């Protein structure tokens, strides 16, 4: 698998350090509360597991599966909810955990969708931010790292359901996805 990686962008150690820091920041922001973490599947699952272990609060978690990419390298623009929440979010502080804020189309849709359920607040946490590709006017409240306009995989991020298990974030060689 690593032979398909052009360059390691973020090492395992860099990821661990920043996730720990994000956990501290969220603990401070929501001190005294019991926020609900919502992971956007599948990409966020590794990040969310590490993040929530670094949050020193009583909290709950749930997951949503939302798609707009399919097997492509850019969004189709059409967002589909494949798995909705099991938890009632009305009056709760919700923290949406996403692997990458890219075009912003999916997160923008998701925030609007969840606002209709009357949460107390919605906070966005993205491991990676790729502002060069933004198509929707949305920003994360907490960002792990800003990344260049390259196709990145690893630490939960995939291409065609592969590479999620890499312990780092790397740039995928263009010849791998250029078919």
Catalytic residues: 102
Distance CA 98, CA 84 (A): 15
C-alpha distances in angstroms, 161 versus 29, 156, 179? 34, 10, 16
Q: For residue 14, say if its preceding peptide bond is cis, omega within 30 degrees of 0.
A: no
The two counts, helices (H) then strands (E), for the chain are 4, 9
Q: Which DSSP helix (H) or strand (E) runs through 48?
A: helix 45-53
Query: CA angle, corner 171, sides to 40 and 21, nearest 5?
Result: 55
Q: E strand or H helix at 144, and its extent?
A: strand 142-146
């Amino acid at each position: 698998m690593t032979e398909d990686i052009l360059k390691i962008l973020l090492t395992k150690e860099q990821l661990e350090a920043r996730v720990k820091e994000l956990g501290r920041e969220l603990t401070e922001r929501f001190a005294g509360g019991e926020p609900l973490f919502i992971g956007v599947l599948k990409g966020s699952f590794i990040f969310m597991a590490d993040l929530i272990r670094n949050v020193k609060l009583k909290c709950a978690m749930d997951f949503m599966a939302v798609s707009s990419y399919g097997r492509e390298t850019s969004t189709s623009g059409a967002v589909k909810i494949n798995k909705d929440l099991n938890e009632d979010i009305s009056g709760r502080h919700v923290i949406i955990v996403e692997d990458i804020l890219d075009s912003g189309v999916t997160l923008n849709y998701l925030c609007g969708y969840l606002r209709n359920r009357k949460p107390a607040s919605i906070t966005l946490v993205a491991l990676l931010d790729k502002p060069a590709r933004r198509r929707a006017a949305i920003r994360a409240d907490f960002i792990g790292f800003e990344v260049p306009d390259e196709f990145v995989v690893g630490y939960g991020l995939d291409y065609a359901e592969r590479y999620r298990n890499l312990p780092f974030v790397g740039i995928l060689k263009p010849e791998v996805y250029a078919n």
